[in-house]
Amino acid sequence: MPSPRFTVGYALTAKKTRSFMQPKLESHARSRGITFVALDRNRAITEQGPYDAILHKLTGKEWRQELEDYVQKFPDVTVLDPPAAIQQLRNRQSMLQDVADLKLADCDGQVRVPKQLVVVGDSSCIPNSVAEAGLKLPLVAKPLVADGSAKSHAMALAYDRFGLSSLDTPLVLQEFVNHGGVLFKVYVIGDAIKVVRRYSLPDLGEGDQVSFGVKSFPRVSSAAATAEEADLDPEVAELPPQRLLECLVAELRTRLGLSLFNFDMIREGGAGHCYYVIDINYFPGYGKLPDYELLITDYLVDLARSKGKKLEPEGPDLDFEECPSAS
């Protein structure tokens, strides 16, 4: 007889485990029939389980092979998310291609990607490459590889040829778009969409004093830079239209083949209906998202039901309320 509980084996980095696997999440999940089990990385995962789903954020050929072997042995398992789908987000050259290919219609807005250039050669060639590509200074510089490390989140603004020549390659250069100094982090958990505001780089005005060289920035969209309670201009603070987000997320879920991700979005000029997607991340820092425990549990319950599972909760958890439909 099938188990009345939905078992999720998880394999996360130590840092991700600390931020994501909070007691509040595990308690609420148990109350709704979901059990989390840490995979033993000292044993082959094919010798563990069976699990209804595997939640992971590990990389490398060996890990991908382990997952393939597990799926072959237990074909009914759901892997969140497939390594092949995750891989395209690890390279900023391919990361935004699916967004660039979108042709959204009747979605209450437009979505674009910044004009960008990939440079893998010697940094001395960057100024000429930029000129040939027709990119306008200043340019946002980001590492080509997006592997979740602190280094991969580093960012700089290059103002002139000298600044460009001092950058480390390989990298991606994106044209800077004024956006009111605010970006929107759009979290996706299955069908659920949650948006939070973050402070971003300030706008550059025509009359502003021109900077020189390169200016480095920390991770500007970090949780410490929240703009949720800030006294912002109403136009700047207004969230992207819900219909636009729903259209965009539906397309990205299909094209990327992912269920757990987020993306950074800015509004051109800080107002209007033209938006840019500037970054996409797999399995982001959900621990920074208010009520993520409820959203994750709702998603896993829906997944279990879609697989024909009739869940048997351990009992009510009086500390929680049912999560409303995310919007």
Q: Is 269 annotated as a binding residue?
A: no
Q: Is 182 annotated as a binding residue?
A: yes
Q: Is 184 annotated as a binding residue?
A: yes
Q: Is 190 annotated as a binding residue?
A: no
Q: Is 128 annotated as a binding residue?
A: no
Q: Is 181 annotated as a binding residue?
A: yes
Q: Is 233 annotated as a binding residue?
A: no
Q: Is 272 annotated as a binding residue?
A: no
Q: Is 288 annotated as a binding residue?
A: no
Q: Is 180 annotated as a binding residue?
A: yes
Q: Is 153 annotated as a binding residue?
A: yes
Q: Is 264 annotated as a binding residue?
A: yes
Q: Is 91 annotated as a binding residue?
A: no
Q: Is 263 annotated as a binding residue?
A: no
Q: Is 120 annotated as a binding residue?
A: no
Residue 114: other Cβ atoms inside 10 A: 19
- Give the strand order in the sheet containing 53-56: 34-38, 6-11, 53-56, 78-80
Q: Is 183 annotated as a binding residue?
A: yes
Q: Is 259 annotated as a binding residue?
A: no
Q: Is 66 annotated as a binding residue?
A: no
Q: Is 174 annotated as a binding residue?
A: yes
Q: Is 177 annotated as a binding residue?
A: yes
Per the annotation, binding residues for ATP are 92, 142, 174-185, 200
Per the annotation, binding residues are 16, 57, 92, 142, 153, 174-185, 200, 264, 279, 281, 285
Per the annotation, binding residues for 1D-myo-inositol 1,3,4-trisphosphate are 16, 153, 185, 281, 285
Per the annotation, binding residues for Mg(2+) are 264, 279, 281
